[in-house]
Amino acid sequence: MKVACVIPVYNHEQRIGEVIREVLKLGLPVIVVDDGSTDSTPDILNRIPDITVLRHPENMGKGAALLTGFAAAVKLGCDLAITLDADGQHKPEDAENLLRAVPDGQRPIIIGNRQGMSGEHVPWTSRFGRKFSNFWVWASGGPLVHDSQSGFRLYPLPEALDLDVQSRRFQFEVEILVKARGRGIPVLEAPVQVVYQKGAERISHFHPWKDFFRNSATFSRLIWNRIFLRGRQ
């Protein structure tokens, strides 16, 4: 199996260089999708050798960036993609945990279950959001998991591209779990570390009210489909 690392990035000038340097140590192809950054992120990416950089002319959302990266990985001949966030919260060496969690003969999605989410620097919105999302993923017909919002994952390709996920922003990562279970793709978890920088050092594009309504709209659509469209899809 050939594996690529896909990193979606949007205005992460403070961390992206360090994140990519650590990911390159894995010895895997690295695909960075710049989702319309307006800070110095493009200049930083231009100075890093041995990576593939793809750019969206404007911000289209994390899900759109992941799909662009998946398509590029398939063109490189890869059949698995490891995804991780550009804010530095993940430890790239934990990618080994994701790969080891794949059972023989299966092609599951592996979620990096973030350990230590009760730490003092972890914002309450992240803790609440994870529990909220876990319940509604299950209620929508998806798997019952511990960390449905983790962006550190292993995806099978091209299966992930064929799941007809409609969400193009953060909600992509919960919808794809529901769609995967509906198609019989296993969803498993493996432990990974998490690093939350304190205070102003942490980079986040989470908007509590806007994203709450987007999440609610996504889960409402998925539950509607589960109840009324079962057997017709």
pLDDT of residue 124: 61
SS (H, E, C) the chain: CCEEEEEEECCCCCCHHHHHHHHHCCCCCEEEEEECCCCCHHHHHHCCCCCEEEEECCCCCHHHHHHHHHHHHHHCCCCEEEECCCCCCCCHHHHHHHHHCCCCCCCCEEEEEECCCCCCCCCHHHHHHHHHHHHHHHHCCCCCCCCCCCCCEEEECCHHHHCCCCCCCCCHHHHHHHHHHHCCCCEEEEEECCCCCCHHHCCCCCCHHHHHHHHHHHHHHHHHHHHHCCCCC
**Total residues belonging to the chain:** 233
Here the tokens at position 140 are 């929508």
Sheet holding 109-114: strands in order across? Answer: 52-56, 30-35, 3-9, 80-83, 153-156, 109-114, 187-192
pLDDT of residue 22: 98
Q: CATH code at 109?
A: 3.90.550.10
Are the C-beta atoms of 180 and 157 separated by less than 8 Å?
no
Within-domain flag for 28 = yes
pLDDT of residue 209: 55
The model's pTM is 0.89
Within-domain flag for 19 = yes
Q: pLDDT digit string (tens) for 112-139?
A: 999 977 666 677 667 777 898 999 999 9
Q: pLDDT digit string (tens) for 33-44?
A: 999 999 999 999
Shortest CA distance to 204 belongs to which of 138, 84, 140, 123?
123
For residue 173, the enclosing domain spans: 3-228
pLDDT of residue 232: 40
Q: At which residue do the structure tokens 């961390």 appear?
A: 15
Within-domain flag for 233 = no
pLDDT of residue 200: 47
Q: How many domains does the chain contain in total?
A: 1
pLDDT of residue 119: 61
Shortest CA distance to 207 belongs to which of 10, 4, 8, 46?
10
pLDDT of residue 7: 98
Q: Which residues of the chain have pLDDT under 70?
A: 118-121, 124-125, 198-209, 230-233
